Amino acid sequence: MNVSALLAVNGRKYPDKPALVAGDAELTFAEWNDQASRWAYRLREHGVEPGDRVVLMLPNCPEFAVFYIAVIRCQALVVPINARSTQEEVRYICEHAGAKALIVHEALVHAVNEWIEQGTNLLAIKTGGSQGVWLGTVAWETGEDVLGKLDEFAIDPDAPNLTEDSEVSILYTSGTTGRPKGVLYTHRSLLTVATMMAIELSIQHRSRILQLMPLSHSAPLHLFFISGLMVGATQVMALTFSPELLLSLVQKHRITHFFGAPVAYLLTMKHPEFARYDLSSVEFWMYGGAPLSKEMAAQMEQAYGRDKLACVYGLTEAGPTGTRLLHREHPDKVGSVGNRGVLFAEVEVVDEAGRPVPAGTPGEVRVRGAGSMKAYYNNPEATSEALRDGWLYTGDIGKFDEDGFLWIVDRKKDVMITGGVNVYPKELEQLLERHPAIAEVAVVGLPHPEWGETVTAYVVLVAGADPAHDWLTEVRGFLSGHLADYKLPRQVKVLAQLPRNTSGKVLKHALRDSAAQKEVELT
């Protein structure tokens, strides 16, 4: 089995069933399957060969779904990237991946047009009509029907030459610690995590999945897009997220499954008309990317229902696969990420020598299972560091409690060592988020000649708060009694905003860089 064959099979089984819904547009499984084959033919016609890399810069739209399968049917590797990527980010990924083609939504061409117009070896394709050096897909839709000519390029929707060990795609990590790395997957990786999610959270033929989180990210793409494709579910998509869209689409389309970052839920439940929407069709509200604090969990359970909330933990390199927690099963353990590896996965917490540590002791989380990446693309050094002895080392610091539940403490690279003692930034951040005058906070370790690192808190204040206030004294006083003295910040800096990447993750490496600090600090 392979990803292309999933659509081919469902195109025959459910030809008239809606597969993709976006606004007024709707594609049945048969239409999606046929369109993917047509566009695969056109890609081959324009020089995309087996093994080539094709970058997709597309938001959540039917064209993304069609091109995703079309590239795979060319036996090329599909490389989805965030639709909000900058020209510099797109250029880096295209060059690192050695891309043959770049496919961009017509509304996003302006973001990269300057670079493309200067001349590259890339085949530049856009949705809509042709423009300058850009080849438009309108001509593909209105030209000759090529379904009867697929043999010319050996295009078979069932893709019999693609095995589960064949390479299929590359996702680039968010790059919170520097340049993003390309995570290389096989069909086995994708099929494993999609099957896991379908079983763990009851995604079935009758399910209706809402896709508002970017499909360039592994969780929405592999856990829900591929699992929905696998079981023949209907998927509703929109170009971007907003609380209004989430509420209205759930009600209109009787959505059964939605995945989002915790912030998506927190923003949505503040919508002034939240209570008037009918959200009763939802079977699972799933979140990931960050565990919930007790306060956030209580708010979300009241708004969305404890029985329907589920946390999933994993990382891009793992497929993602790892653990999951249902609020209804373990309401007293909310904030943890569960007490077992999900289907097909094992999870351990180990010391620097790779030995499992006892309950209550922090260590690095490692994951083992068929859903993990094959390698970092074109980066053997990073691959050998992450994949060891059959395990994927996540870079997350976690600990099991006495009941066997896993709690994520921090990222290994973010852990500060001050005076020879480990300090975990997340511990401070979660406490400081409770301060009524602090809207956002990031804690990092800055170099110190004697202590190694000094604990530094960067804070964004709520509207009306005085940036000239003595925030170091304020913060240390607020934390006193909650944390040991050596963990308290020695510096507090007020920022207008925290530096973030296109995925919304805080760029702590930028905060550690003195030049970047000067750029973001308020004067």
Go through the domains of the chain in sequence order and give each one's CATH number: 1-17+28-162 (3.40.50.12780), 415-520 (3.30.300.30)
319 and 372 Cβ atoms separated by less than 8 Å: yes
**Nearest one of 231, 316, 230, 218 to 259, comparing CA atoms:** 218
Mean residue pLDDT of the chain comes to 92
pLDDT in tens, 451-489: 778 899 999 999 999 999 999 999 999 999 888 788 999
pLDDT > 90: what percent of the chain? 80
pLDDT for 275 equals 96
DSSP state of 220: I
Confidence band (pLDDT; 50, 70, 90) for 503? Answer: low
Cβ atoms of 240 and 280 closer than 8 Å: no
**In this predicted model, what pLDDT tens digit does every residue of 143-197 receive, in sequence order?**
889 999 999 999 999 999 999 999 999 999 865 556 789 999 999 999 999 999 9
C-alpha angle 164-165-169 in degrees, rounded to nearest 5: 90
Nearest CA among 289, 293, 266, 269 for reference residue 279:
269
Identify whether 320 is preceded by a cis peptide bond (ω within 30 of 0). Answer: yes
**pLDDT tens, 222-245?**
999 999 999 999 999 999 999 999
Q: Show the tokens assigned to 308.
A: 């329907």
CB hemisphere CA count around 474 (13 angstroms): 18
Q: Once rounded to an integer, what is the mean pLDDT over residues 39-55?
A: 98
Helical spans, DSSP H, in 149-291: 187-200, 218, 226-231, 243-253, 262-268
Q: Which residues contact 120 (CB under 8 A, 6 or more apart)?
A: 94
Q: Mean pLDDT over residues 436-443, rounded?
A: 94
User: Is pLDDT of 429 > 60?
Assistant: yes
Q: What pLDDT score does 279 carry?
A: 98
Residue type at 180 in one-letter notation: P
**pLDDT-based confidence at residue 519 (cuts at 50, 70, 90):** very low
What is the structure's pLDDT at 463? 93
Structural tokens at position 321: 């696969």
* pTM as predicted: 0.87
Does 342 score more than 90 pLDDT? Answer: yes
Task: Report yes or no: 336 and 407 within 8 Å, Cβ to Cβ.
Answer: yes
Instruction: For residue 80, give the 3-state DSSP assignment.
Output: strand
